[in-house]
Each structure stands twice: as C-alpha cells, then as structure tokens.
C-alpha cells in the first residue's frame, strides 16, 4: 500500500531576532530538523514528545499551515510544500486539524450550527442537513445547534471541534493534543469517538500528544521526537515492549501507572537536567547531554561518536527504526523482572533512588 502522507527531510527554523529597532536575525530556533515519516491510509501515527520537541510544528507543516524551511510533504504522491494558498485550497478539504484547546478554538460569537457550517460555506457546499448529520455523528443533539460554545462543557466543545474538522469529509486529520485539556472521565468519550470516526470514514490520523498512555491506546505506529528530530519510530506494541532509544525508554519508565502494585515494583529511569535550547542544540546526538547510557555505560571512544556523528534512523529489519548508535531493546512495561534489560541510572538524584531501592 502507498502511504497517503510521506514526509521527507522536513526542516523548520524560526528566526530569533535581536531586541530594539533593527531586529537583526541573531539565530534560529531549530524546531524541526530533518524529519521523515509516512502515514498509511486508515492508519493512526502517534507523534509523541515533550514540550518544545517540535511535534506541533510538524503537524502544522504537514498541512502546509506553516511554510517549511526545507524538505517535502507528499500528499498522495504530490509535494504540497511549494503550493500557493490558492493551489492548497482544494486540498484543504482533504486535510484538516483538531486543536487542543476547545475553549480557544471556537468563535464565542457563533452558534454551534454556524461553527460547523463555516467550513462548508467556505467551500460552497453548505446544506442544513449536513450540519445536522455532523452534529449527530459526533454525539451532539440537533437542538444544540442554536446554542453558543460557552454553554457547553469541555468534552462537548471538543466534539464541536471534531464536527468542524469532519465537515468537508477529509482523508487526513491532524489531531493536536485533542484530549489533553479534558478531565479523564470525559477524555475517554472523545478517544472512543475518534476511533469510531476513523473506522466509519476510513480516516488517517496524525495523533500528536504528550500522553503516551493515550497514544498506546489509539495509535498503530508511534514516532518519538526529541529536540526537532525523530529518535524512534515503530509499531505501537513494539515501541512499548521493545523500546530501543534511551530517550523513549526514559519516557516510558517515567509515566506513572494507575496500579499501586506495579508502581511499587517498577524501575524508573530518571533523566538528569533539562532539555537543551533548540537555538543551540548539542552536536551529534541531541540527547547525549541527558542520556543515561552516554553518562554511565559508554567508553570515551563511543562517547566521541555520539558527540560527533548524529545517529541516523536505522531499521532493525522489522519496521522498528531507532536513531541511536548504541540502541538496545528494553522491556519497561508488561512482563516481570526477568524480562527487564539492564537499566542504568543517571547521575545525581537517580543514584539516591537506586541506593534507596537496595535498602
């Protein structure tokens, strides 16, 4: 099967300007730095990473909402990066986005009916019944159409946002943290809705989230970003059960499980320090400044390689790609202690943890 979206060498730099009148450009924020991935029809690709890793920018680039600095985004084989706004317009019907904040993304002066009708009107395909059907599809009642967004709870507002995105019968939806602003009891309803809609309309999703539990639940494959680069990309089960990049491993081990017994017996990889500035990212592997493996396991020669040579995403032969010179699969969730690989702790605080566990 051919991918519906194919991203190659995608780069986005934002200029950093000096203060004052001249506002000279004094540097670049390297938000996205050479990202490659594919999304197949009817597939959900999860894109995870922490604040500032470039996942939201990647989502915007995918829809050509931001001009890319370099690289290509092929939609059904055609590169959309060089297209003008007018050329993009027919494609917009097929590629839509749902935003995180259901409070900020809906115009408070429009009724729900008008909100959902807006994209239909823009493309000249408005019909009253279409709006009613859409409201029904996302689990709202026809009577809700006369009300305003502020009269609804967060979960219902997000349903309105989904109805707007679905209005033009898109093929691809970028979901940018679609459930992050919602309470858990409500979040589950939106997750179920998105899964149902995907089955019903054969949609392809780029599901951007910082919440790995939600991503494990919805995604078919997962890409992990760190400082503008994809560090690991794999089928969802493979990623969680055989994470091979030290960053992915730390990320998975850091997520608290709602299960007291498992929590008590879990090993946690605690990273030292903070994410470096994207204005001046580290040379070579960008994760090396916080990497527990770099700090504790590698020889000087091996470390030199991390500092000098940026690791490329390499396939292990089963569609599991990792960008680490010294990648090593590790099981962090599911399975007992015997299945766990060696876990090296970082410096400082984690040493204290290790000592405490021995006690």
Q: Three-class SS of residue 11?
A: strand
Q: Do 239 and 224 touch, CB atoms closer than 8 A?
A: yes
Q: Does 147 bind other proteins (CB under 8 A)?
A: no
- Residue 207 β-bridge partners: 46, 175
Q: Does 23 bind other proteins (CB under 8 A)?
A: no
CA angle 302–305–310, rounded 5-degree value: 135
Q: Does 21 bind other proteins (CB under 8 A)?
A: no
Q: Among 123, 132, 210, 305, indicate the residue that binds other proteins (CB under 8 A).
A: 210
- Using the minimum distance from each CB to other proteins, give the nearer residue, 275 or 323: 275
> Using CB under 8 A, which residues numbered 46 to 75 contact other proteins?
50-51
Q: Whole-angstrom Cα distance, residue 62 to residue 5?
A: 8
Q: Does 264 bind other proteins (CB under 8 A)?
A: yes
Q: Which range of residues in 94-102, 270-278, 302-310, 316-324 is near other proteins by CB under 8 A?
A: 270-278
Q: Among 131, 135, 251, 298, indicate the residue that binds other proteins (CB under 8 A).
A: 251
Minimum Å gap between C-beta 352 and other proteins is 6
Half-sphere exposure of 347 (CA within 13 A, CB side): 9
- Using the minimum distance from each CB to other proteins, give the nearer residue, 283 or 334: 334
Q: Do 137 and 88 touch, CB atoms closer than 8 A?
A: no
Q: Mask: binding to other proteins, 324-343, rule CB under 8 A, as x and -?
A: ---------xx---------
Q: Do 67 and 13 touch, CB atoms closer than 8 A?
A: no
CB-based contacts of 175, cutoff 8 Å, min separation 6: 97, 98, 194, 205, 206, 207, 208
Q: Do 194 and 218 touch, CB atoms closer than 8 A?
A: yes
Q: Does 270 bind other proteins (CB under 8 A)?
A: yes
- Using the minimum distance from each CB to other proteins, give the nearer residue, 87 or 347: 347
Q: Among 98, 165, 175, 212, indicate the residue that binds other proteins (CB under 8 A).
A: 212
Minimum Å gap between C-beta 35 and other proteins is 20
Q: Do 246 and 329 touch, CB atoms closer than 8 A?
A: no
Q: Mutual orientation of helices 154-166 and 112-122 as an angle, nearest 10°?
A: 20
Minimum Å gap between C-beta 217 and other proteins is 4
Q: Among 25, 87, 146, 192, indicate the residue that binds other proteins (CB under 8 A).
A: 192
Going from the C-alpha of 317 to that of each of 9, 234, 237, 321, 322, the distances in angstroms are 21, 11, 16, 8, 11
Q: Whole-angstrom Cα distance, residue 198 to residue 204?
A: 7
Q: Does 189 bind other proteins (CB under 8 A)?
A: yes
Minimum Å gap between C-beta 122 and other proteins is 31
Q: Does 280 bind other proteins (CB under 8 A)?
A: no
**Chain center to CA of 132:** 31
Q: Whole-angstrom Cα distance, residue 194 to residue 297?
A: 42
| Pairing between β-strand 321-322 and β-strand 95-98 as defined by DSSP bridges | unpaired
Q: Which range of residues in 4-12, 165-173, 179-187, 315-323 is near other proteins by CB under 8 A?
A: 179-187
Please give the size of the binding site for other proteins, defined by CB under 8 A. 55
- Using the minimum distance from each CB to other proteins, give the nearer residue, 167 or 295: 295
φ, ψ for residue 218, nearest 5 deg = -100, -25
Binding site for other proteins (CB under 8 A): 50-51, 153, 155, 183-189, 191-192, 195, 210, 212-214, 216-218, 237, 240-241, 250-264, 266, 268, 270-274, 333-334, 347-350, 352-353, 356
């Amino acid at each position: 099967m051919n991918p519906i979206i194919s991203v190659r060498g995608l780069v986005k730099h934002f200029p950093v300007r000096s203060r004052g009148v001249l506002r000279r450009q004094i540097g670049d924020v390297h938000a996205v730095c050479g990202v490659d991935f594919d999304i197949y029809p009817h597939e959900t690709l999860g894109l995870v990473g922490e604040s500032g890793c470039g996942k939201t920018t990647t989502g915007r680039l995918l829809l050509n909402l931001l001009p890319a600095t370099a690289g290509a985004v092929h939609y059904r084989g055609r590169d959309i990066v060089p297209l003008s706004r007018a050329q993009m317009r027919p494609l917009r019907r097929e590629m839509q986005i749902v935003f995180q904040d259901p409070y900020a993304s809906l115009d408070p002066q429009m009724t729900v009916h008008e909100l959902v009708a807006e994209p239909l009107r823009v493309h000249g395909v408005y019909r009253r019944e279409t709006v009613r059907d859409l409201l029904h599809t996302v689990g709202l009642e026809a009577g809700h159409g006369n009300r305003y967004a502020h009269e609804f709870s967060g979960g219902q507002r997000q349903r309105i946002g989904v109805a707007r995105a679905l209005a033009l019968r898109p093929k691809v939806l970028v979901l940018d943290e679609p459930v992050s602003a919602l309470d858990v009891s409500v979040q589950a309803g939106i997750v179920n809705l998105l899964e149902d809609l995907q089955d019903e309309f054969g949609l392809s999703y780029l599901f951007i989230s910082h919440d790995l539990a939600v991503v494990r639940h919805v995604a078919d494959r997962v890409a992990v970003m760190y400082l503008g680069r994809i560090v690991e990309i794999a089928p969802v089960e493979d990623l969680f059960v055989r994470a091979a990049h030290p960053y992915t491993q730390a990320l998975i081990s850091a997520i608290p499980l709602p299960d007291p017994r498992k929590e008590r017996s879990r090993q946690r990889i605690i990273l030292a320090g903070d994410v470096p500035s994207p204005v001046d990212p580290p040379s070579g592997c960008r994760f090396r400044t916080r990497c527990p493996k770099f700090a504790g396991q590698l020889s000087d020669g091996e470390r030199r390689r991390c500092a000098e040579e940026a690791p490329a995403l390499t396939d292990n032969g089963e569609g599991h790609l990792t960008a680490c010179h010294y990648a090593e699969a590790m099981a962090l969730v599911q399975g007992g202690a015997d299945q766990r690989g060696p876990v090296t702790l970082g410096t400082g605080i984690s040493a204290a943890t290790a000592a405490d566990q021995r006690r």
